[in-house]
Amino acid sequence: MSIITVLKQADIFYELSNTQLELVASICDERHYQASDIVFDENSPGSELYIIASGEIEILLNPALLGKETKTGPVVISTLRRGQSFGEVALVDEGLRSAGARVSQAETRLIVIPRDKLMLLCDTYPQLGYRLMRNLAADLAMKMRSTDLLVREQMTWSRPAGE
């Protein structure tokens, strides 16, 4: 499967023309991973956006980083599959990764887009940049709403009896 085919399946590239997709594909790299490989750790610096071409990725939060003792280690908060993106928060704000990412399926293939090259592309082609940033904002909003529901569910179900 070509990089352009993968990009066409990703929501963050919705409504980009074939020419715009070719421009994005020209700055992409491809990486292959095996099950349990770490793509990146929570609180690590990030400068890349990832699109899943094949396989699965688990998004992890480590409660120990918040001072919570845990015997199980990081908690899987989401599992992502082909066509989904991750790593976009660090891409947008250039901050530390808000979660970790671990490969959960053998032969996982990721399309990697470096922040500096993507920002240059967006600056050079404003229409591409506008569409991409609009789609990225919509994707982040959906992920935030989903996380909010998870937090609310945890708060509801983890209250001690009698409350």
Neighbours of 150 (CB within 10 A): 12
Which CATH number characterizes residue 153's domain? 2.60.120.10
Of residues 117 and 142, more confidently modeled: 117
Inform me whether the pLDDT recorded for 152 exceeds 80.
no
Q: What is the pLDDT of residues 47-68, one digit of tens each?
A: 999 999 999 999 998 877 666 6
Tell me what the pLDDT averaged over the chain comes to. Answer: 89
Residue 71 has pLDDT above 80, yes or no: no
The pLDDT value recorded for residue 163 is 52
Does residue 34 lie in a domain region?
yes
Domain assignment of residue 162, yes or no: no
Examine residue 105 and state whether it is found in any structural domain, yes or no: yes
Beta strand 57-61 pairing with 100-103: antiparallel
Question: Per the domain annotation, does 163 fall within a domain?
Answer: no
Q: State yes or no: pLDDT of 161 exceeds 60.
A: no
Residue 117: domain span: 3-157
Domain count across the chain: 1
In a domain? residue 103: yes
pLDDT value at residue 114: 95
Distance CA(132)–CA(146), nearest Å, equals 21
Whether residue 32 contacts residue 55, with contact meaning beta carbons closer than 8 Å, is answered with: no
Residue 114 is assigned to a structural domain of this protein:
yes
Residue 139 is assigned to a structural domain of this protein? yes
In a domain, 124, yes or no: yes
